[in-house]
Structure 1
Amino acid sequence: MLVPTNRKQGWFSREKENMLFIHVPKCGGKFVEKAFEPWIRKCPSRRIAEAAGHLTWREYNSVFGKHDIDIAAMTSFAVVRNPWDWHVSWFHYIRQDEGGLLSGHAIEATLFQAFSFTDYIAWLEDDDAPASPQNYIKSQLKDFLTDENGEIAVSHILRQETLNEDLRALAVKLDLAIHIGDRRINTSQREGYRKYYSDQDCERIALRHRDDLDLFGYTF
Structure 2
Amino acid sequence: MIVSYKHRFIFAAIPKTGTHSVRHGLREHMGPDDIEQARLFVEKKFPIPELARLGHGHISLAEVRPFLGEEMFSDYLKFAFVRNPFDRFVSYCAFATSREGTFARDPQRVMRHFLFVAPPHQHIIFRPQHLFLTDRDGTLLADMLGKVEEMQQSYDAICARIGIASTPLDHANRSQRGAYRDYYNQELIDGVAKIYARDLDLFGYEY
User: Which residue does 2:125 correspond to in 1?
Assistant: 136
User: Which residue does 1:163 correspond to in 2?
Assistant: 151
Shift of 1:95: 1.0
Shift of 1:169: 1.2
Q: Is the 8 A contact 2:9 2:78 kept in 1?
A: yes
Cα distance in 2, alignment partners of residues 135 and 33 from structure 1: 18
Cα distance in 2, alignment partners of residues 32 and 74 from structure 1: 18
2:48 paired with 1:58: no
Q: 1:82-121 maps to which residues of 2 (within 5 A)?
A: 82-97=84-99, 116-121=107-112
Cα distance in 2, alignment partners of residues 76 and 217 from structure 1: 19
Q: Is the 8 A contact 2:12 2:79 kept in 1?
A: yes
Shift of 1:90: 0.7
Tell me which of 35, 39, 43 is aligned to 1:43: 35
Shift of 1:72: 2.3
User: Which residue does 1:195 correspond to in 2?
Assistant: 182
Change (3 A) 1:130 1:86: closer
How high is the sequence identity, in percent, across the aligned residues? 27
Which of structures 1 and 2 has the larger relative contact order (alpha carbons within 8 angstroms, sep 6+)?
1
User: Which residue does 1:148 correspond to in 2?
Assistant: 136
How large is the Cα RMSD of the aligned pairs? Answer: 3.1
Change (3 A) 1:69 1:94: farther
Please list every run of 5 or more consecutive structure 2 residues that lacks an aligned counterpart in the other structure.
Answer: 38-45
SS in 2 for 1:164: helix
Change (3 A) 1:135 1:184: closer
Deviations 1:141-172, CA, capped at 9 Å, x for gaps: 11111012101001111101101011111111
Q: Is the 8 A contact 2:65 2:73 kept in 1?
A: yes
**Number of matched residues?**
190
User: Which residue does 1:74 correspond to in 2?
Assistant: 76
SS in 1 for 2:146: strand
SS in 1 for 2:27: coil
Shift of 1:174: 2.1
Shift of 1:47: 3.4
Please list every run of 5 or more consecutive structure 1 residues that lacks an aligned counterpart in the other structure.
Answer: 1-13, 99-108
2:179 paired with 1:219: no
SS in 2 for 1:79: strand
Tell me which of 3, 6, 12 is aligned to 1:22: 12
The AA in structure 2 aligned to 1:93 is F
The AA in structure 1 aligned to 2:157 is A
User: Which residue does 2:22 correspond to in 1?
Assistant: 32
Alignment TM-score, normalising by the size of structure 1? 0.73
User: Which residue does 2:42 correspond to in 1?
Assistant: none
